[in-house]
Amino acid sequence: MKIQDITVEYQHNPIGLDTAAPRFAWKLADDSQNIYQKAYHIQVSKDDEFRELAWDSRKVDSDESIQIVYNGETLTSFTEYFWRVKVWDQEETETDWSDIGRFEMAMMSWKDWEADWITPEYDYKAPKTACPILRKEFQIGKRVTKARIYVTAKGLYELWLNGKKVGRDFLTPGWTSYNKRTLYQVYDVTDMLKEGGNAIGATIGSGWYKGELGWRSRRNLYGGREALIMELHMTYEDGAVEKILSDGTWQSSYRGPVICSEIYHGETYDAQKEILFDTYGCGFEDWFHVRVMGAAAKDILHAQECPPVREKLVLRPVELLRSPNGQQILDMGQNMAGHVRFRVKGKAGERVVLRHGEILDSEGNFYSENLKGARQRVEYILKDEQEAVFEPHFTYQGFRYVLIEEYPGEIKKEDFEGIVLYSDISQTGKFHCSDENLQQLTQNILWGQRGNFVDIPTDCPQRCERLGWTGDIQIFCDTAALQMETPLFLRKWLHDVAAEQFPSGGVPWVVPDIYDDTYAYDLVGYTGQSEKVAAAWGDCATVVPWNLYQAFGDKRILEEQFDSMKKYVEFIRKQGPCEYTWEGQHQLGDWVALDAPYGSFVGATDVDYVASAYFAKSTEILYKTAEVIGRDKEYKIYRELHHNILKAFQEKYVDEDGELTVKTQTALVLAANFGLVSEELASNYMKKLAEWLKETNYDLITGFVGTPYICHALTKYGQVETAYKLLFKKEYPSWMYQVTKGATTVWEHLDGIRPDGTLWNPRMNSFNHYAYGSIAEWIYRDITGLKICEEVPGYKKFQICPRLGKELDSAEFAYESMYGKIVSGWKRTEDKIEYHITVPVNTTAELRLVGSELLECQVPYQKIKDEYVLETGSGDYWFTMRE
């Protein structure tokens, strides 16, 4: 047995942690079967020879290999630590020590900050939209052996040192509830310094901090001045430490090349105004002073909590089009979020002007009406006749097509690249199947997650919105966790959910919260309570943490978020008219369901029904969370509350004959999937739904609330064939309809492009909106069968229970769990089914395989109805069954 892939807080050798008790994890590899860990031994040291130990766990009898909490001496700011682990298997065979890992602490208290917030002096001769530059020159007289930068900004920043960009990150410091929580980043710049003169500087864009946000394009939501705080710590070979701090000695200028840069609208860059601000003795003379912002808070500063946004993929245009109206348009072949990097050569003052859009109209011309005012325009002004390569700095676009409005010389598609930006989280799930349309659908869903995981979970990446809609991620978080390693990304966002929670306990529609009443009225004709809270949206406060715990065994996220979860449930409890239902409030309901009344976005399902259903769901999660983290008193209180909610729900919404009083598909789905009624009634409801769908030719008409659960509920109660038919329907309305129309991401509306080629209302018609992509969870969990064992989270124990349909000949899902790769695959060969299952070391699986006869098996099994049930430990397994 070998130890591999050791991590601290989900990261490999991180620098810049401010977690007092970080957690360790490792994976185990062994070609034998049924291997598990019996004990482990961790050492943490201040030196890589492990002479100065900070923690020695000694041998611990435990099979845990993830989420192992540090339990040594107090970790100190700016200190680098080394760690290693060894384990014993069930036969007491001891491994070698693992490779040595590292982690480095940032500032363990905000009081460690010595630098000041600084802001540039305003230049009335510069463009009002210009992005300022701040810089400082300094001397180094000795060899530097270690150097770290701690930096953040009010606005988005790019930091440069001696002619090179610091780090590989984009859109730093990301988006948080800035006035409550601002994240700083830590960079290793040891190799970027030199003896003699050095120069450091930053350009700051408006970004989310003071740029335009929302449909009404309001500015300065968090403040009106860009600012920077930075510390450069240099350790010399003699052990001495010197610090360069942001303070009143810095210089500033608004006369740099970034004339304007906005998240929604793009960027204008004049290369003729470039300044070598990151070069010692740059020669520019019109520098202004800076102001020290003495009152600016430092106690809101926290070390980076999630992976930064980075360049993740590079796409080449598949075609250079000439549209019917004579426009030249690049087709990237994929709807994406990011920007275009291009090469250009021309004369000084000539321009490149690009506009970005998701689709072409029915005639094949560039289309941008659905952007709702987001210009998505990039302009570059050439400096001289030398060839230049450019990409924007403080903006990103959602697009597939690029309209080239201006470009000097011949346009060649080879001179353009699509730079795909999203948070630097790894892909964990890969799906393959025999059906091209289903394969494309799962790729569309993955691309939707990429495009909407740009530092926060957004609704869309293109129009004047791109907000952290809480309902979208609430329904998508299970799918998200199966496709990518989401815990750090969503944990950071959940901290903002708690920070933005209203005093009443309600959770805003969007996090970070930018809404006001006029904005909300524009959306849904909203009037009423000043706090904008909606069922299925606010429930992100309970659903998302519980999902992270289930998927990654992350108990800490439950501990951190428990008070927020409790406040939210108590908020609902006070909404009345009785404490066991949620009624009478403005709700968003089954959003964009096709059964909505004409002119409404809200589906036909009674909004109070939806609200009370989610009240039950969140309360159930809350009492289970209390049990997990040892809050016995709350466990009893909220388990009883859940019981009373179910009783009140059944009294209000279930007739004496067992029929629901709310006659919609979503109502049936929620009752069955949330356990709101007896198993017998739930089974009857799904039979009724199956008949309903058959009568309507399997039309998909549910909205954001019903769609994530519809196939789960059908499958749970024996209607697998109906679930398959619903998924594989190609005609509108369906999931596959979008694929047949050439979609490369999931649409906001099932009829974003109608069968006759007309488009849905441009007021709200995104073509990159992952909510309907939540069907992927059913694809991975039921078609290929990978299910979590709730009692043993993190895939320490799991179930493989594939549900086969005649529409497929094969399907396989490979998932990189915290313990290692899990594989569940099957394929048909004549009248047989071949299953391939991989179970990681230190885990166990229950296999439930469908077939009439198990032909080959070396594992003990039972036959229960039409399933063969097997319990197995680690290893690769192949089974052949007669269908």
State the residue for tokens 């990159």: 768
559 is catalytic: no
Residue 335 burial (C-beta neighbours within 10 Å; 0-12, 13-18, 19+) = buried
Which token pair is 841? Answer: 């070391």
AA letter at 460: C
- 551: region left, alpha or beta (phi > 0 left; psi from -120 to 50 alpha): alpha
β pairing state of 266-270 and 144-154: unpaired
**Residue 742: partners with Cβ closer than 8 Å, 6 or more residues away:** none
Which token pair is 571? Answer: 């908020």
**Cα–Cα distance between 642 and 626 in angstroms, integer?**
13
Is 153 in contact with 201 (CB distance < 8 Å)? no
Q: Which helix (H) or strand (E) holds 302?
A: strand 301-303
Number of H helices, E strands in the chain: 15, 45
Residue 249 burial (C-beta neighbours within 10 Å; 0-12, 13-18, 19+) = middle
Q: What is the dihedral of CA 548, 552, 555, 556, to 10 degrees?
A: -80
Secondary structure (3-state) at 454:
strand
Secondary structure (3-state) at 687:
helix
**Residue 403: partners with Cβ closer than 8 Å, 6 or more residues away:** 327, 328, 329, 354, 355, 356, 357, 366
Cβ atoms < 10 Å from Cβ of 597: 9
Q: Which of 305, 465, 485, 634 is catalytic?
A: 465
**Cα–Cα distance between 623 and 731 in angstroms, integer?**
43
Is 230 in contact with 149 (CB distance < 8 Å)? yes
Q: Which of 104, 262, 311, 748 is catalytic?
A: 748
91 is catalytic: no
State the residue for tokens 């075609």: 319
Residue 416, Cα to own-chain centre: how many angstroms? 27
Q: What is the DSSP letter of 213?
A: B
**Residue 279: partners with Cβ closer than 8 Å, 6 or more residues away:** 162, 163, 199
Q: What angle do CA 62, 67, 68 make, to 5 degrees?
A: 50
Q: What is the DSSP letter of 191?
A: G
Residue 709: CA count within 13 A, CB half-sphere: 24
**Cα–Cα distance between 696 and 210 in angstroms, integer?**
50
Q: What is the DSSP letter of 591?
A: B
Residues classed as catalytic: 465, 748
